[in-house]
Chains A and B, each alone.
Chain A
Amino acid sequence: MAAAALNGTAMELRDLRLWPRIKGALKFVGWEAVLSICLCMLAGLSIPQFRAAAWRDFMLAGAVMMTSRLSGQQFHWLLNSSPTTNVLWHLPVAGRDICRWARLIYLRGSLNLLPRMTVVAWAWLGFPLVETAWMNILWSGIMLWLIMLACVQHHSLPLGAGRLLGKIWNVTLAIWGGLVVYAWVGNKHPSHGLLPPAWVSQVCAPVSWVLPAQWVMHARENQIALVLTLVCLVAGGLFWWRFPDALGGAYDQLDTEALPAIEIETEEPAYAEAEDLARPVAVPEPPAMEAVQVLACIQQAAANETSLVREGWIEKLLLSLLNERDRMLGPILVGLHAGWTGRWWKAVRICTLLLLTSYALLAFGTRWIKAETLEVWIVIVPLLVVVGYTFPVSNSIPLAMLSWPSGQHGMPLFAGLPISMRDLLRVSLRITVARMVACLALALPVIAGLCVLLDHPKAIPAMLGTAVILAISWRCIRPVFIYYRLQQVSRPGRRHRLWHACADLLILPIALAIPFSVILSVAVFQAQPEWLAVSLPLTACCARAVYAVFHWRVRAQKVDWTRDPPMQP
């Protein structure tokens, strides 16, 4: 066992740290792939006429360059502003070593962009699904990744060329961004004639050659592209290799003692004699407080706390839903100023203005803007306002999860207080109900108003029913979010088993996903609403089960309430 410990291997099988690493890697690769595919879909590459157009190259080359620019900003942050380098620059560490460290961290992290570049290469080659194409795709992906890395070091080009190149790329990317939005709208509404006109693809073709990714993808058939690619890669490689010596060396050669001293001219002060300098003065004692005064002060403070929560009708509604203990806990966990009612009234004012404006636009604005386009925005914007201002997204008890320093680890605030998980669940659910009632109080009239505006009065019952179903299902699924929030501020103890993680991550969410997706499909398509009688309770049970499993683990002492993982020796 001692030998195993010396080798750094786990002495017991139940080392659960393997699963979080796998989970993290899977999550990241999955998200990268999804993001990249969405990016390509946004650029309209899923439909043939866009792929055939010359602007396909511009879209994809722009995606690579955007990644490079964002990644470059991350590198510069790492070198100049990250907490670690801020400390390192102030320590007796050679600048070269700091730059080497930053280079290593960045390049290691940039491997995460390889999946994205591979998806871009796949899109560039037309999404082929044959086995023989995969080597080509992989190779192209790697080349795009290398080009992307090389472009990060464009600042190293001499004579200001790097800065000029950066500006050219920024302007190009601004055009690219505009075209991405244009393509997305066109993709969604091809019948509106928003396909790119011919001049767009004619301009994109030459402009895309400003972007190095274009050189890579045409290197096989175009010698100039091949030369440009090789020059870019070689220059980028050289710059990355010499970067620690170039920047770090300049820093190391700074001789602070050789800098001229700053001279400040002052008049000679009139120094007093030593005995005149220290003159003790008597500080009056503050007036003593009577016990009655202290008690009154504390009681007044307690009364003020509760009165602050009663600042609006939503808060009053909440207090009416809470029992005695929760009326004490609620304000503690929510914080001083919930502000729900204020935001609700703000949303009411904005939605009223929006509906009036929509009426005016529909009546008089269709000569400039297509009615179909107007209708889309008339529906989206007020609903976004309602959701943004009134929908209870968070767990509503922010103070409970506040990170509190405790020795080597941080802990959530509620762990230092006699507050249980059940208290958190109860208070959070009651807050959700109160806020959901307020949300529906605004959403239902807005939806009805929109239906009338758009001349669909018969759709009102169905739309209102959909909103109510969604609200109830949100309440049913709420325990999952509370569990998720609690899980973020905790860490499994060593009694945790791998199958616990599997149960948490696979079985229960799957059991939850099925009824919840049924609810969504019924709500959206209004087909077979009788399924709601089964799926709503099932969703509520599954969500509660997810929470209950975690609660059981806490009670069985399998969970540490710590926000940060402990430092490994």
Chain B
Amino acid sequence: MMRAAADCGHAAVDLQPPGDCGARAVAGFRVALGSRSIVMTNDLEYENVVMEFRGRGATVRALDTFNFHVAESEFVVVVGPSGCGKSTLLHMTAGLMHPTAGRVMLGGSIITDPGPDKAIVFQNFSLFPWKSVRSNIDFGLRINGMPPAERNELIDRYIKLIGLDGFENHYPRQLSGGMQQRVAIARSFVMRPRVLLMDEPFAALDAQNRQLMQEELVRIWSAQRPTVMFITHSVEEAVFLADRIVVISRRPGRVKKVLDVTAVAGASHWRMDPFEDVIRRPDFQELRAEIWGLVKSEIQLRS
């Protein structure tokens, strides 16, 4: 799969229209399996997903019959009160946890193990502190057996893309939070994942950096267009970035409401425009207020 990714997708990183890469843009990307060639889709299917944690004596149900479908290349943002099982959902999608009942499927097959096709970006960056920026980005490519020449070219391109040229040999500790998260994002995107999972990736950043990172994420994402599941506490962030927003109820988490942002944001989607312009739009504000109302009712119910 690494090979398939390297063959086609990376041309698109130069911010050319994704149309370059027909198979990928239209229906998924091609994987050669021996002589056969199949087309994989990158949609996510959550089917009656239940997740329970056994604590001291008591069993806590984090997610309850969660049903949802994320289309290929769709950008879905999940919001909900603290403890509603958002992170659990993401960890299950990454293959780091398994549901107590129900199924989570990527492209029609049940997710069993973590792997580079399901990249995850964590809130605390989770960079390897003893590896330089360059080796952090290189890690996934190297252990999956990509030849050095190819890797170096890719890494150079991504380091440039996230604006960190000159910092290749710095250690994470020497970078600001925003720079560290850029590295983490590059480390994920360079793998050309089928699905990108983001667990409150910008929550640890200050407001200015957060805004810059949102715009940068859109830029990198639109070149590659993996399917995205993005978790956030920021309703504004959700409305700005999402194709669709899923509001999850308080624990045990269920789908409370799904809102279609594309219907409001227009054909080219407002996330392509500067954040400070978009945030002033009345339709943006209206949607923001609606979602905040939904989330707030869940928080108030709780207390």
A binds B: no
